Amino acid sequence: MTGKRWNTEFFSDIGDPSQLAPLFDSLPEVFFFAKDLQGRFTAINNPLLAMIGVAREEVLGATDYDFFDRDLADAYRSEDMTVMETGQPVLNEPWWVPNIKTGDIHWYYSSKICLRSVDERAIGIAGIMRPMGNTTELTSDHRQMTSVASYIETHYAERLTVEKMAEVAQCSPRHFQRVFKRVFKTSALEHLMRTRIRHAASDLVETRDSLGTIALGCGFYDQAHFSNQFKRLRGVTPSAYRKQFKGLP
């Protein structure tokens, strides 16, 4: 029996491949995931769950669109589709993944392969991510824009403009907007808005502050502007969100 045939027969005899899952859970700083053709998560290991800040039951059967900004989810999905359509793996591609609860930005090297059925049909993808050792491994554009994202995280309540963010990045506003969109797959102003909404959502649950106080404290012009943007991004009004998660009157 040839080595290739022996190897093929061995894996065909494994049976349920999910028995390998505990092994992936024990890998330190290696994040494993698998998705089906529709982009639904079918597997995810514990380190990745901890990094993005959600529970396993929230992830399985969900898609990137349930957790990430649409622009970022579109980019993830586009790469997944390319892997499935071409059958070619993507290896060590730099990607940023935000912690859903804290907003912290983490940079990783991502690798993906196409998963095939017994009759060689593409049925999904599997991937791993490993953290970059430090930000010096990033390109200058990535480091530059990451510094702006960190600035937004600590100054979101201020009246931030594109010009101010470009000043932080030490480049022209036009160059800044172009590079930020390329690096983070969304515009700087949309990233700022989503950061404000995330902090406002926490305040709605963790405090009894009025909607007007929360709106002003998170950088919104007024309560109406806050309510409109909150409903656009969260699908419910701030009041409904507060009642849903805290039961406040």
| Count of C-beta atoms within a 10 Å radius of residue 57 | 8
pTM of the predicted structure, to 2 decimals: 0.70
Domain of residue 90, CATH code: 3.30.450.20
CA-atom Rg of the chain in angstroms? 21
pLDDT at 16 (0 to 100) = 76
In a domain, 4, yes or no: no
- Greatest Cα pair distance, the chain, in angstroms, is 75
| Residue in the block written with tokens 């597997």 | 43
pLDDT the model gives residue 143? 86
H or E element that contains 223: helix 223-234
Domain assignment present for 6: no
The predicted pLDDT at position 248 comes to 47
pLDDT score recorded for residue 221 = 92
- The answer to whether residue 3 is domain-embedded is no
* Conformation bin of residue 126: beta by default, left when phi > 0, alpha when psi is -120 to 50: beta
Same domain, 161 and 206: yes
Q: Which of 119, 136, 153 is the last residue of a domain?
A: 136
pLDDT values of the chain reduced to their tens digit, one per residue, 249 residues: 565 677 777 777 777 777 877 888 888 889 999 999 999 999 999 988 888 778 889 899 999 988 887 878 888 999 999 999 999 999 998 888 877 777 777 888 999 999 999 889 999 999 999 988 666 667 888 889 989 998 999 999 999 999 999 999 999 999 999 999 988 888 999 999 999 998 999 899 889 999 999 999 999 999 999 999 999 988 899 999 998 876 544
Within 8 A by CB and 6+ apart from 113, the residues are 83, 89, 125, 126, 127
| Same domain? 36 vs 148 | no
| 193 and 114 in a common domain | no
- My answer on whether 20 and 132 are in the same domain is yes
Q: Is residue 5 in some structural domain?
A: no
Domain CATH code at residue 150: 1.10.10.60
Got the DSSP string for 126-151? EEEEEE-SSGGGS-HHHHHHHHHHHH
> Which of 97, 115, 136 is the endpoint of a domain?
136
Quote the number of domains for the chain. 2
Instruction: Report the b/e string of 156-195 with b at 16+ CB within 10 A.
Output: beeebebeebbebbebebeebbebbbebbbbebebbbbbb
Q: Which residues contact 51 (CB under 8 A, 6 or more apart)?
A: 31, 97, 99, 106
Query: Residue 185: which domain range?
Result: 139-246
Residue 25 lies in a domain: yes
Q: The tokens 């730099």 sit on which residue?
A: 94
- Same domain? For 86 and 26 the reply is yes
Q: Is 107 helix (H, G, I), strand (E, B) or coil?
A: strand
